[in-house]
Chains A and B, each alone.
Chain A
Amino acid sequence: ETGVTQTPRHLVMGMTNKKSLKCEQHLGHNAMYWYKQSAKKPLELMFVYSLEERVENNSVPSRFSPECPNSSHLFLHLHTLQPEDSALYLCASSQVGRGSEKLFFGSGTQLSVL
């Protein structure tokens, strides 16, 4: 247990559905991240929130919409997804500051888009 909890563990959705992924960290960190892990590809950074403000959006399609209501919670809202969006979505958190840089990851949500 790393202190980062993701729900659900598995999600199957149709292309017209709307769903949300949830991430909660219990580590008192001030930054949270969404990563996408597809088969045969390196992990891709999607979004970064630092002090609850989005500081990076790596050209992610608008069908992915992040939300960070406070420093402990991070959501990824999904709508009108495509089959190629099927992947493992990993949440991570860190304490940004000199000497403290390390990311702690959740167990991920395995998403299948039909």
Chain B
Amino acid sequence: AQTVTQSQPEMSVQEAETVTLSCTYDTSESDYYLFWYKQPPSRQMILVIRQEAYKQQNATENRFSVNFQKAAKSFSLKISDSQLGDAAMYFCAYLTSGSRLTFGEGTQLTVNP
């Protein structure tokens, strides 16, 4: 079974600084997708960034980028120029070919002004 591990229950960052959230996963599949979702207090689960395992290039979405290390099964999220609105629970997730999305336990990010 696939598992997703987020080893940092909580992280904090100063506004305008950079923070990296860690995620590792375990799978025997070679073709899959990885995601970072953000859940603010509104509870809406918002897709932040998506990575296809067959692509070597790291995905980037504005201030959000990933460091995808397929051999190490690592998928970290870097948030640059952190903003107050980035404060949320961040979930790493793994998607199998059968569209089963497995989530990590989440990292609560606090942004300090």
Contact residues of A with B, CB < 8 Å?
A: 2, 31, 33, 40-43, 45, 48, 50, 55-56, 88, 90, 92, 94, 96, 99, 101-108, 110
Contacts and interface: CB of A to CB of B under 8 A. Distances in A.
A48 B4 contact: no
Contact of B47 (A43, A48, A88, A104): A104
30 contacts: A33-B101, A40-B105, A41-B105, A42-B91, A42-B102, A42-B106, A43-B101, A45-B100, A45-B101, A45-B102, A50-B99, A55-B98, A56-B98, A90-B45, A92-B45, A92-B101, A94-B99, A99-B52, A101-B95, A102-B33, A102-B50, A103-B35, A103-B99, A104-B47, A105-B44, A105-B45, A107-B43, A108-B43, A108-B44, A108-B45
B104 A42 contact: yes
